[in-house]
């Protein structure tokens, strides 16, 4: 399967390039705050795609699964503007039971505009948390990284 987006995971860090379009902004040309959540979701989804995990495949399993955000702590540090070329940086830090801990940042060049600490749960089709299946663990675990590595990556000059 060919991926349409130029993205990759290197040393546990996933980078998704995106451009800010008119539709992403408010009347002043600044990205509307809720759109950072959309950008972050794309980053998490593309991380999974890069690992060989696809949402449609998860839900079509005999034991249908999905991921849902349980908690998200967000810092808005600086605005993104129309036509900016951004990178959504994602790092999957650890898996414990049904939970995934993910660190994310949205960057303009080397400037951090937005960052989030995200906890996601693996759930059944009925919405109940379920321990991450072994086949999914095998695809994700090689790409886990340390929080320090993520912080060094986004803070390097």
Active site positions, annotated: 26
Closest C-alpha to 108, from 83, 130, 86: 86
Classify residue 67 by its DSSP letter: E
Collapsing DSSP states into helix, strand and coil, what is residue 71? strand
Tokens of 66: 């999905």
C-alpha dist (Å) from residue 6 to 3, 15, 17, 18, 145: 7, 9, 7, 10, 21
C-alpha dist (Å) from residue 30 to 21, 81, 84, 129: 10, 4, 10, 37
């Amino acid at each position: 399967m060919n991926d349409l987006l130029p993205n990759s995971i290197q040393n546990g860090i996933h980078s998704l390039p995106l451009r800010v379009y008119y539709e992403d902004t408010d009347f002043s040309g600044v990205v509307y705050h809720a759109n950072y959540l959309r950008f972050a979701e794309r980053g998490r989804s593309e991380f999974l795609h890069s690992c060989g995990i696809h949402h449609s495949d998860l839900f079509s399993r005999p034991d249908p699964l999905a991921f849902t955000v349980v908690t998200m702590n967000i810092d808005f540090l600086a605005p993104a503007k129309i036509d900016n070329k951004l990178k959504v940086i994602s790092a999957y830090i650890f898996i414990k039971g049904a939970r995934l801990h993910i660190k994310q940042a949205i960057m303009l060049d080397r400037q951090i505009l937005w960052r989030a600490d995200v906890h996601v749960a693996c759930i059944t089709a009925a919405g109940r948390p379920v321990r991450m299946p072994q086949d999914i663990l095998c695809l994700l675990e090689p790409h886990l990284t340390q929080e320090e590595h993520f912080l060094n990556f986004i803070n390097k000059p």
